[in-house]
Amino acid sequence: MNVLLLVLLAGAVLTLLLTYIGKLLFPKKNGGEETASEPLEECCGAHEVCETDLLNKMSEEIIYYEDEELDAYRNFEENDFNDDQIDEFREILYSLKEKEIEPWLKSLELRHIILPSIIKSEVVFMLVK
């Protein structure tokens, strides 16, 4: 009986020791929370997360959304726009479908066009809905 208890106690101590050493050598990321593995290169397209990841991995190709006139505002600061110029951005923004807004923002970024501050607020409101 004593031998059995001694073996169980030794096993428990050995398990605790190995667990402790394992945590020291291989700490988990994100504060100990397990993370999902990264998706494969291809995405099924059925999840909004995958679509967002694909947008981020999109090539540096600039896609125009019938907004070529906005190229005139390249390198403007967000507070440099007058009301008519802001209305140009607004007209294009509200003509886009919801799924086109993020790619449009990426296109503007690649073209070095900064949104007017009021339009940024409207975009955030539209994306949060």
pLDDT-derived band at 123 (thresholds 50, 70, 90) equals: very high
Retrieve residue 2's tokens: 């004593």
* pLDDT in the model for residue 60: 75
* pLDDT in the model for residue 53: 52
* DSSP secondary structure string for all residues of 42-91: S--S-SHHHHHHHHHT--S----SS-GGGGGGTT--TT---HHHHHHHHH
pLDDT-derived band at 56 (thresholds 50, 70, 90) equals: low
Domain boundaries, the chain: 41-128
| Exposure string for 42-74, b = 16+ CB within 10 A, e = fewer | eeeeeeeeeeeeeeeeeeeeeeebebeebeebe
